[in-house]
Amino acid sequence: MVNSNVNALGIIFPNSYDNLIPELAGDRLMASIPFAGRYRIIDFLLSSMANCGISDIAIVVRENYHSLMDHLGSGREWDLLRKNGGLSIFPPYAEKNMKVYSDRVQALESILPFLKSKKEKYVIMTDANIAVDFDFGAMLQEHIESGADVSIAYTEQEIPEELISAGVHEDMYYTLCLEDGRVRRIFMNSEESGIQNLSMNIYIMEREALIEKIHGAFVRGYSYFERDILAPRLEKYNIRGYKYDGYYARICGLKSYFDENMKLLDDENLDALFTGGQIYTKIRDDNPTRYINGCKTKNNLVADGCVIEGDVENCVLFRGVKIAKGAKIRNCVLMQDTVVEAGARLDYVVTDKNVTIEVGQELKGTDTQPFYVAKGHTV
């Protein structure tokens, strides 16, 4: 694992955008949604931070965090099991002043004692609705060299339709108006068409400045870091954009979850996501996948521990999936320990963990609306 001793503390908000995908975030949070066959969304951000030498990372959770805590454990897989620093998880009521927060300012205010106790000069904050191999070290270096007060990572892209639909309600997303790299305006829930500077919700600033701003914002009853702290002070603060040109997957709903998994069936996309630093995850000791005589497979991403006897094409299979003889599976994302029994037919289907598809069952969605089977269900 790369360790460049970056002088920065990491903070991850794993519940951000849970409302975008209620099907998968009903009893887990966005950060712990399975992705790419054997990973969770948070694996990519944690690994990116660890690979850049960030060895002190706080995860501030709000609800439905048991699956995340089970997945992360002590942080050993990310080399974050340490006497000093390492991985710190802050659930509600973990400390006397911690409550169930409802916004970013409350979340940060609840860990102010933690922030004050640290020595790192900078803080890197991120949400957990993206899968990306991100070079936080490069962004921090540009932040320092530019003299910025705050740096915001962004991509040039069209705003996803799912994000626009969600933004009408309560989940905020941000686009940036830039002038020579400096952020001149921040737009909330813009519906502008065409290519926009879409924030990745990755921020860097000095730790002491963050403490000061969060304390002041909390006292004034502010809620949103971007809307209430940054946007009104664009003339006062030197807030700069950091353009990210690499591959990443943004989860905005069930359709984008399905699409982003299916994109990884293209070797070019798979290589783009995984050819940088190593992505670490919780270890599960499984046997190699077994392909039984007579099965047919084409263009699949298959994790270990699977047993395939039927026909599988254009699918992402997570660990321990079993496809019985005579079953035909096309264009599907089947999560861990899904069992598809003999003669079943699936097309454009997403199954959660521990699902059983019974003998002869036929399920069919579309590329715009995949059929979803909830965790632990038998159909």
Q: Please, which residues have CB within 8 angstroms of residue 94's CB and are 6 or more apart in sequence?
A: none
Distance CA 40, CA 31 (A): 7
In which element (H, E) is residue 365 found? none
pLDDT for the residue numbered 2 = 46
| Helix, strand, coil % over all residues of the chain, rounded to 5 | 25, 30, 45
In which element (H, E) is residue 280 found? none
pTM over 0.75, yes/no: yes
pLDDT for the residue numbered 83 = 82
Distance CA 48, CA 196 (A): 25
Distance CA 369, CA 372 (A): 9
Distance CA 238, CA 355 (A): 51
Q: What is the pLDDT of residues 330-353, one digit of tens each?
A: 999 999 999 999 999 999 999 999
Q: What is the CA radius of gyration of the chain?
A: 21
Which amino acid is it at 126? T
Distance CA 355, CA 361 (A): 13
- The DSSP output letter for 22 is T
Stated length of the chain: 379
pLDDT for the residue numbered 16 = 86
Domains annotated for the chain, with CATH where assigned, are 8-274 (3.90.550.10), 290-373 (2.160.10.10)
pLDDT for the residue numbered 293 = 96
Distances (CA, A) of 87 to 3, 56, 106, 211, 302: 16, 6, 21, 20, 30
Q: What is the pLDDT of residues 11-44, one digit of tens each?
A: 999 998 898 999 999 889 999 999 999 999 999 9
Q: Which two tokens stand for residue 180?
A: 């020579």
Q: Which two tokens stand for residue 17?
A: 């955008």
Point out the residues of the chain with pLDDT beneath 50.
2, 98
Distance CA 273, CA 48 (A): 11
Q: How many alpha carbons fall within 13 Å on the CB side of residue 231?
A: 16
Q: Please, which residues have CB within 8 angstroms of residue 293's CB and are 6 or more apart in sequence?
A: none
